[in-house]
Amino acid sequence: MKNITTYKNKKVLVLGLAKSGVSAAKLLHDLGAFVTVNDGKPFEENPEAQDLLALGIKVICGSHPIELLDEDFFMMVKNPGIPYTHPLVQKAQEKGLPIITEVELAYQISEAPIIAITGTNGKTTTTTMIEHILNAGMEDSKAHLAGNIGYPASTVAKKATNEDWLVMEVSSFQLMGTKQFHPKIAVLTNLYEAHLDYHGSWENYVAAKWRIQQNMNSDDYLVLNWNQEEIQELAQNTNATVVPFSTNEIVNGAYLYHDMLYYKDEAILAVDEIGIPGTHNIENALAAIATAALWGMDAQTIADTLRSFSGVKHRTQYIGKVDDVAFYNDSKATNILATQKALEGFDPHKLILLCGGLDRGNDFDPLVPSLKGIKAVVLFGQTKYKLEDAAKKAGVTSIYFTENAETAVDTAFELGEKGDTVLLSPANASWDQYDNFEIRGDRYMAAVEQLNKTKRSSQ
């Protein structure tokens, strides 16, 4: 890593722990900063804070006292999930204190160039596709997954050399806290309405996403979804070299034509060769193809990797079959659009959908067209009755209720017949019953595995 002196002997406040906060605190400590960590969880219930204290880092837990900012801090590093309406953040802004997120720190110390991927949906799958393709073609270097995908960017940047690449998923929350962040290649998968409770408006959300290219120049590449007019309009206001991808038209980049995926004039692979189902994954593959081609990867390696790509955990992830009923885990589908995209990849007449979760006050009428023709739905969580209304509007007659994602497995299996598919794609956040979507997906998969063991032992 670059041994920068920016923070040496400077007081830095890290607000909020979790993975990124812990990583930022440790890095700043290594860089010679006087670090104070503030986290809402009580100290006795906070093993991360206890570990940081053992390193000699000052920790204040259990509340967020405003008087903390009476100290002469040089900067605040804010956990991305903490909104800018938080009293401590607002006070920091009033005092003119610079506020960044951990991905900004990662950029500042990284010797490795960065490929950054953002968007409303598809960014995790696209990020992983790109990482797989690059590593398939690298010999003496490595592409490292980093960022919002679950690997704190500053931890990954510490170990990456100038021969490596960081393939970094970045959220709108993270991008709002960037100043110098400068990827060599950036990808915007799509823009749909999301996180407006955090950003306050659609315009603010789009502006946060568009920060990905704020420091790019004509030597850098910006890979954009040309299917969306709003993104085409945004493309008029960047210094980066724009490389489009599209499923609707031939573009000077990556595109779909007669069921074949191309980069420029070169055919890469057929749609039905992509290793994971769904029309949305055609867009993800095109974005990955464009990025890998710009990096210099040959068409054969790109095609071979996409053929063998089996998906990302919790994102339309194929689990396996029990008595010829296939199970998929799409627990990452925490909004309606993500579930709509997942449903496009399956035959509705043979599909049993498991759905439900946290009630955020919305209805599910936008989901109705995607539910038409579905064999059955199994509903759980706070939104189960709202989803029942949507299913009835779609003409679904087989509607069942269950307690949670795990108990839905047995119910769905009883409904299933040979050749059917069971898909967990909740269309809701998990927080009414689970701490996060990963736990929801893990417990669902464990229930499928238990079902499989039970069936095997009875044969």
pLDDT given at position 316:
85
The CATH architecture annotation of domain 11-100 reads 3-Layer(aba) Sandwich (3.40)
85 a known binding residue? no
DSSP class of residue 122 equals S
Cα–Cα–Cα angle for 371, 375, 379, rounded to 5 degrees: 65
List the CATH code of the domain at 104-308: 3.40.1190.10
| Beta carbons within 10 angstroms of residue 271's beta carbon | 15
Q: How far is residue 419's CA from residue 347's CA, in Å, rounded to a whole number?
A: 10
pLDDT by position in tens, the chain (length 459): 998 999 999 999 999 998 899 999 999 999 999 999 999 999 999 999 999 999 999 999 999 999 999 999 999 999 998 999 999 999 999 999 999 999 999 999 999 999 999 999 889 999 999 999 999 999 889 999 999 988 999 999 999 999 999 999 999 999 999 999 999 999 999 998 878 888 889 999 999 999 999 999 999 999 999 999 999 999 999 999 999 999 999 999 999 999 999 999 999 999 999 988 778 899 999 999 999 999 999 999 999 999 999 778 888 888 889 999 999 999 999 999 889 989 988 999 999 999 999 999 999 999 999 999 999 999 999 999 999 999 999 999 999 999 999 999 999 999 999 999 999 999 999 999 999 999 999 999 999 999 999 887 765
SS3 329: strand
The alpha carbon of 417 is separated from its chain's Cα centroid by a whole number of angstroms, namely 33
Which class is domain 317-457?
A: alpha beta
Rounded to a whole number, what is the largest CA-CA distance in the chain?
Answer: 70
Q: How far is residue 104's CA from residue 73's CA, in Å, rounded to a whole number?
A: 18
Ranges for all domains in the chain classified under CATH 3.90.190.20? 317-457
Q: How far is residue 240's CA from residue 458's CA, in Å, rounded to a whole number?
A: 61
Q: How far is residue 67's CA from residue 319's CA, in Å, rounded to a whole number?
A: 51
pLDDT given at position 458:
67
120 a known binding residue? yes
123 a known binding residue? yes
Q: Report the number of secondary-structure helices (H) and strands (E) in the chain.
A: 17, 20
291 a known binding residue? no
125 a known binding residue? yes
Indicate the pairing of strand 254-257 with strand 260-263: antiparallel
- Could you tell me if 167 and 134 are in contact, meaning their C-beta atoms sit under 8 angstroms apart? yes
pLDDT given at position 341:
86
124 a known binding residue? yes
Q: How many residues does the chain have?
A: 459
pTM greater than 0.85 (yes/no): no
Cα–Cα–Cα angle for 25, 207, 213, rounded to 5 degrees: 70
SS3 167: strand
122 a known binding residue? yes
pLDDT given at position 206:
96
